[in-house]
Chain A
Amino acid sequence: MIDYLRAPSGIRSWLGSIDHKRIALMYLVAVTIALVLGGAFAMLMRTKLLISGPGIMQPLTYNRLFTWHGVTMVFMFMIPAIPAVFGNFMLPIMVGAKDLAFPRINLASFYVYCAGAALALWGMIHGGADTGWTFYSPYSTASPTDVAPIAIAIFILGVSSIMTGLNFIATTHMLRVKGMRWMDLPLFVWAIYATSVIQVIATPVLGLSVTLVAMDHALHMGMFDPTLGGDPVLFQHLFWFYSHPAVYIMILPAMGVITELAPTFARKNVLSYKAIAFSSLGIAFVGFLTWGHHMFVAGISQLDAAIFGVMSMFVAIFSAIKVFTWLGTLYKGSIALTAPMLYFFTFIYLFAFGGMTGIAVATTSLDVHWHDTYFVIAHFHFIMIGGTLTAFLAAIHYWFPKMFGRMYPEKWAVLSAVGVFVGFNLTFVPQFLLGNAGMPRRYYSYPDRYHVLNVCSTLGAYLLGSVMVFTLAYLIVALFKGKRATANPWGSRGFEWRVPSPPPTENFEAPLDLRLGCYEYDRE
């Protein structure tokens, strides 16, 4: 059977394809460009921070850069990447289906993403915003920069996100192959499902927030203007109501990837299937109840602070269960230390550390000191890079043979995984120390005593950036020159490994055989 890459051929057949696998690859190209762009913004920012005083660039430029870095990374990479690339590619195969529930909506979601990204880029070229990706009022109204285009672009990107989530939920409910019960599903599907629930429920509130920002700025709507009786803090409530669940949109799919790696590379059943499945739902649900922990010093009541603080502790327990289960899955396993597995361990270490620092900032009195300092920046980069990006890299390597029918170069991948770990720690551990010392976020210039740690962080960033470029390079080469892959190079029981590499357009030559579960390694 001809695989999905080779037939039909021609650029029109790709751009108009409703095949979930081709759409996944188009998304891969798009999110990779977003990652490179967001990374470039970060490199420029860190370059400025090599010196403590004015120089290298103007303050307004720096302020724009951190806004663009946040907007690009959050909305154009972190939110869509794993779901729209790997969710799209793997979900139908993992449930035994030939495609998603709504293939045309899938393609449309891609073009909506492109439209949003294009508008955001146009907005940036046009002078873009300097408000931070959080657009707090009243500054987002008062800013001399053109805020509205980027805000509207985020709205559009949000629509794409909702379309994707809706598709995944419908597919999981309605397109499971006959005989596949919910408890037979690969846990990656549970993760994507929980993510999709958040996307569908929370993203509209983001759409509302950014639309109000755009209207306040461009039309003087005054919804949060104190001179009209408006409350700037109310904007923060509205914004974080989406943006906190958003971070779970960013991490849940990553957790799903990690959950797939352990059984494959340890050739072992998951220590507790239910713990992983239900903790994914638990994170999605409780994650909606914690947003006020971004606002402990914003002017909320002590009662609010108490509730949001304790809910934040609860949501952390679900992640802790997962870490316990992932590690426990290795017990009495048969572990192969491949590049994806190196990323697995990188994830466990960095996510555990980042998660514990999350507990730390949820501890209200400590957050008074840390809020809006580099401690918080380090915390969320540990989760977003150490967690999500690491899992994204793990996924691209793990599923490379399945998606492209070729192997990546293992030695270079190992080198890259080590490089990511070292570069990442060099960049962000100093930032914890900077935050402890009191260095605020979004600071173009800073007191001299923070200089050494800033230089250290920048050098780490250059290393991390170089490793990422190196990774991109060898992966592109492997697309054309990589060794041909077999259907199941890892010897995994996962459902996606039971179809050819790469799969045919309709995924399955014969219906999925469910007699052997996707995590059963105790029998043939």
Chain B
Amino acid sequence: MNELLRWMLNLPPQASSVARHIDYLHYSVILATFAGVTACAVAAVYFVVRYRRRGNELTPHVVAPGWLEATVITGLLALFVMWWLIGFHQYRELETAPPDAMPIYVTAKQWMWKFQYPSGPSSTDVLTVPVGQPVKLIMTSRDVIHSFYVPAFRIKQDVVPGRATTVWFQAETAGTYDIMCTQYCGTRHSFMRGQVVALPPDDYARWLDAAEPDHFAGKGQGQGLVARGREVAAEHGCRRCHSLDGTPSIGPTWLGSFGRVRQLVSGGAVTIDEDYITESMMDPRAKVALGFKPVMPSFEGKLAPADVAAIVELIRSLRDATPPREELPPRD
């Protein structure tokens, strides 16, 4: 039944873990649509025939009984709200990556997709992933808004310059699936396509081993992003203000910071995630941590996206350790 409806509605294969139950909701809504419209058509045809004009006669004054109107309204509203509830529940699932999802960094630019793996390799337009494992894409754009869309997975997320957006999926079936940019981004928008290659886990492991290391000039041939992150942090002076081992300094320590909630000078709070870390590198005085001064310089334009990703991965790798003692703000 699922296959029949999927074929009739011209839907792509259900290649991800969420695709099937999203399609079930789709079927429900579309079938109800057809039923409703058919009911309207049948009623219309019946009325046209039964009440056709026979002369300029008068007609009775008919008013819809209140109970009928109330029933129609309540019934339809209940139906619509039910769909909304299920749809929202599914949406939350689509938006919330499992905690063990494997991160891959994506940079969209006119008119190509660049993928950076934490363990080192990078690729253009082809995203290789293992089947049966959740993958989380951390995405940003170098120029205008793009949108990462894999029809076979039923996932989509706009990729916005100046911030990181995320999308996750778990491929269930090995195969090759189209990636299509789906936010108009200029002349070659329709050529900005790529592919997700989902490999069985063993094949994926083999692929990863053999994969071309990161090409960036002189930097860490074949090393992971975390090691690269250490190099970047040293080279760009991050270590002058941020320690990796909990030592208090001019800036907050990176040890045990990822995923924690930090209070801000402005009175609010923020969860330390990819978004916040990226933003802090680009616009450090936007969200200043409570107890620290707004003295961090901006690295906008000074760090390649892969280096930004490397810093994020470095900080992420330090997440599970707790700082040795209560962090004290530096003396004034």
Contact = CB atoms under 8 A, between A and B. Distances in A.
The answer to whether A and B touch directly, with their CB atoms under 8 angstroms apart, is yes
Interface of A: 59-60, 63, 130-132, 136-139, 142-143, 226-227, 229-233, 266-269, 271-272, 275, 296-299, 302, 305-306, 309-310, 313-314, 316-317, 320-321, 323-325, 327-328, 330-337, 345, 348-349, 352-353, 356-357, 359-360, 362-369, 371-373, 433-434, 436-438, 440-447, 453, 491, 520-524
Interface of B: 9-12, 22, 25-26, 29-30, 32-33, 36-37, 40-41, 43-44, 47-48, 51-64, 69, 72-73, 76-77, 80-81, 83-84, 86-95, 143-145, 147, 149, 151-152, 154-158, 160-163, 165, 178, 180-191, 193, 283, 286, 300
Contacts of B43: 327
A367 B94 CA distance: 11
A229 B300 CA distance: 11
Contacts of A352: 36-37, 40
Contacts of B188: 59
Given A138-B145, A229-B283, A334-B53, A364 B156 contact: no
A368 B95 CA distance: 10
B29 A363 contact: yes
A132 B184 contact: yes
Contacts of A369: 22, 26, 151, 154, 156
Contacts of B90: 364-365
A491 B51 contact: no
Nearest to B57: A334
A363 B143 contact: no
A433 B9 CA distance: 6
Contacts of B83: 313, 359, 363
Given A226-B161, A328-B64, A445-B190, A360 B54 contact: no
A309 B33 CA distance: 18
B183 A372 contact: yes
B140 to A, nearest CB: 10
B175 to A, nearest CB: 15
Considering the complex of A and B, which 5 residue pairs feature the smallest CB-CB distances, nearest first?
Answer: A226-B162, A438-B151, A365-B90, A363-B87, A356-B33
Contacts of B193: 447
Contacts of B180: 438, 440
Given A142-B143, A332-B62, A333-B47, A309 B76 contact: no
A438 B149 contact: yes
A131 B189 CA distance: 11
15 contacts: A139-B144, A317-B76, A321-B72, A324-B69, A345-B48, A349-B40, A353-B37, A356-B37, A360-B30, A363-B83, A363-B86, A365-B94, A368-B154, A445-B191, A521-B58
A345 B45 CA distance: 9
With most chain B CB atoms within 10 A of its CB, the pick from A59, A275, A356, A523 is A356
Given A299-B160, A327-B47, A359-B80, A366 B22 contact: yes
Contacts of A137: 145
A374 to B, nearest CB: 11
A305 B91 contact: yes
Given A267-B53, A330-B51, A334-B56, 19 more contacts: A63-B186, A130-B186, A230-B162, A266-B51, A269-B62, A306-B88, A310-B84, A352-B37, A359-B29, A360-B26, A360-B29, A363-B84, A364-B87, A364-B88, A366-B26, A433-B9, A440-B190, A443-B190, A447-B193
A136 B160 CA distance: 11
A325 B59 CA distance: 17
Contact of A335 (B10, B29, B53, B191): B53
Which of B63, B91, B188 has most chain A Cβ within 10 Å? B91
Which interface residue of B57, B73, B90, B144 has the most chain A CB atoms within 10 A?
B144
A271 B64 contact: yes
Contacts of A313: 77, 80-81, 83-84
B296 to A, nearest CB: 15
Contacts of B22: 365-366, 368-369
Contact of B163 (A226, A356, A433, A437): A226
Nearest to B18: A365
A316 B51 CA distance: 29
A298 B158 CA distance: 5
A59 B187 contact: yes
Contacts of B161: 138, 226, 232
A353 B162 contact: no
Nearest to B190: A443
Nearest to A67: B184
Contacts of A323: 40
Given A275-B69, A327-B44, A356-B32, A441 B62 contact: no
B310 to A, nearest CB: 21
Given A310-B84, A317-B73, A332 B156 contact: no
Nearest to A444: B190
Contacts of B69: 272, 275, 321, 324
Nearest to A275: B69
Nearest to A320: B76
Nearest to A273: B63
Contact of B162 (A232, A317, A356, A359): A232
A437 B11 contact: yes
B184 to A, nearest CB: 4
Given A266-B59, A335-B52, A373 B182 contact: yes
A447 to B, nearest CB: 7
B223 to A, nearest CB: 30
Contacts of B283: 229
Contacts of B89: 365
A368 B93 CA distance: 12
B11 A345 contact: no
A268 B187 contact: no
Contact of B190 (A59, A231, A309, A520): A59
Contacts of B178: 438, 447
Contacts of A230: 162
A142 B144 contact: yes
Contacts of A131: 184
Contacts of A447: 178, 193
Contact of A372 (B33, B47, B147): B147
A325 B40 CA distance: 11
Find the residue from A136, A267, A309, A365 having the highest chain B CB count within 10 A: A365
A130 B36 CA distance: 39
B81 A310 contact: yes
Contact of A139 (B41, B77, B145, B147): B145
A440 B181 contact: yes
Contacts of B152: 438
